[in-house]
């Protein structure tokens, strides 16, 4: 294993230290317990947004802390849920009195620990709503989840719910917008290579030289099936088919198309996938109105990508376009 790390046990701590130094104007970093908050949190009158999950998916979630997106991010160990004793103080730190929304990817550990933290926060008088993200069409149940996993759609839920909170929506309204995004987004991924968790020291799984895994999760957990390597257009077709079917994409639909790199794939390849995805959507009669292409929710150095399609309406489009100022996503400011 060759990684630019010092001690596998210190990876998360040193990452957030570096992150805090690089973005000192944007965020505050708590090191014990570890969580990252927006510099000006709590923002008076605003609903607080907290997300988190295992580390190794950077820039998710710390990269999305800032104006118009998250108020706090809570990173666990690599590919391991954060604990309630991190989530609770992050929740309290961003509560201005308007309540807090937890955005949780549907993995058993995350769900459990955010639930516990929400109960503890409620006991301290903070109203908490939870938006569960479960956009992955690859599998119904998996090694890590009951029900669908939460993957690429999480980034879109965080951006759009964040914009709703920023414009002053109340607690129920922010949660409702987040749930509406989740209901209208589907994702499917592919892995060309495995990734290596630092404290494990060896790849999470093996793929043969000419083999890829369709329906991969963001921890390298198994997907639908392994197939022989195909070209980018064929892979794109395979990923989009179940996404469009599940979303019931119809002629006239307007969508946001999100091609996400898993961490180790060149940006050029993501644009090649994007190009084909636009064609497939056009064939289905849908128009790509907004797009996002890059490494936004990763699995360490895994090679591969995921494709997310979000059906847009005027309000979701307006909230997507709203100004955002975070380390990893920024426009309008």
Of 23, 57, 61, 102, the active-site residue reads 57
Q: Are 159 and 165 in contact (CB under 8 A)?
A: no
Q: Which of 291, 313, 315, 318 binds a copy of itself (CB under 8 A)?
A: 291
* Residue 219: active-site member: yes
Non-local (6+) Cβ contacts of 83 within 8 A are 33, 76, 113
Least separation in angstroms between CB 222 and a copy of itself = 18
Work out whether 227 is an interface residue with a copy of itself (CB under 8 A). no
- Which residues are paired to 22 by β-bridges? none
**Alpha-carbon distance 256 to 160, whole Å?**
12
**Alpha-carbon distance 223 to 233, whole Å?**
19
Q: Determine if residue 228 is left, alpha or beta; phi over 0 gives left, psi from -120 to 50 gives alpha, anything else beta.
A: beta
- Which residues are paired to 258 by β-bridges? 292, 308
Scanning 6-14, 82-90, 129-137, 158-166 for contacts with a copy of itself by CB under 8 A, the matching segment is: 6-14
Both ends of the chain: CA-CA distance in Å? 40
Scanning 33-41, 218-226, 242-250, 303-311 for contacts with a copy of itself by CB under 8 A, the matching segment is: 303-311
Scanning 66-74, 154-162, 166-174, 258-266 for contacts with a copy of itself by CB under 8 A, the matching segment is: 258-266
Scanning 87-95, 106-114, 149-157, 298-306 for contacts with a copy of itself by CB under 8 A, the matching segment is: 298-306
Work out whether 308 is an interface residue with a copy of itself (CB under 8 A). no
Work out whether 272 is an interface residue with a copy of itself (CB under 8 A). yes
Neighbours of 24 (CB within 10 A): 11
Of 61, 102, 219, 325, the active-site residue reads 219
* Residue 325: active-site member: no
Work out whether 301 is an interface residue with a copy of itself (CB under 8 A). yes
Sign, CA dihedral 59-51-93-101, equals positive
Q: Which residues bind a copy of itself (CB under 8 A)?
A: 2-7, 11, 14-19, 21-22, 55-56, 58-59, 63, 192-193, 209-210, 212, 229, 231-233, 235, 263-275, 278, 288, 291, 293, 295, 298, 300-301, 303-305, 330-333
């Amino acid at each position: 294993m060759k990684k630019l790390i010092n001690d596998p046990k210190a990876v998360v701590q040193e990452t957030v230290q570096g992150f805090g130094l690089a973005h000192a104007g944007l965020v505050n970093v708590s090191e014990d317990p570890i969580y990252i908050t927006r510099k000006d949190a709590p923002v008076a009158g605003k609903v607080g947004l907290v997300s988190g999950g295992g580390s190794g998916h950077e820039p998710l979630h710390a990269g999305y802390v800032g104006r118009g997106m998250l108020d706090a991010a809570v990173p666990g160990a690599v590919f391991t849920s954060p604990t309630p004793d991190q989530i609770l103080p992050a929740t309290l730190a961003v509560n201005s009195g308007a309540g807090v929304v937890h955005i949780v990817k549907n993995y058993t550990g995350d769900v459990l620990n955010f639930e516990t933290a929400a109960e503890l926060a409620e006991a301290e008088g903070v109203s908490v709503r939870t938006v569960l993200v479960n956009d992955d069409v690859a599998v119904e149940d998996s090694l890590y989840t009951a029900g669908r996993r939460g993957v690429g759609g999480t980034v879109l839920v965080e951006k759009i719910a964040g914009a709703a909170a920023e414009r002053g929506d109340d607690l129920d309204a922010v949660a409702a917008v987040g749930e509406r995004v989740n209901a209208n987004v589907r994702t499917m991924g592919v892995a060309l290579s495995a990734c290596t968790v630092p404290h494990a020291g060896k790849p999470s799984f093996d793929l043969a030289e000419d083999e890829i895994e369709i329906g991969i999760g963001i921890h390298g957990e198994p997907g639908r099936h392994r197939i022989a390597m195909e070209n980018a257009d064929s892979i794109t077709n395979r990923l989009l088919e179940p996404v469009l079917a599940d979303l019931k994409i119809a002629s006239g639909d307007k969508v946001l198309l999100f091609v996400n790199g898993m961490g180790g794939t060149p940006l050029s390849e993501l644009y090649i996938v994007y190009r084909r995805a636009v064609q497939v959507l056009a064939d289905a009669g849908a128009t790509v109105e907004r797009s996002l292409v890059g490494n936004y929710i990763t699995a360490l150095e895994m090679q591969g990508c995921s494709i997310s399609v979000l059906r847009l309406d005027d309000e979701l489009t307006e909230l997507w376009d709203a100004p955002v100022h975070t380390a990893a996503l920024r426009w309008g400011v």
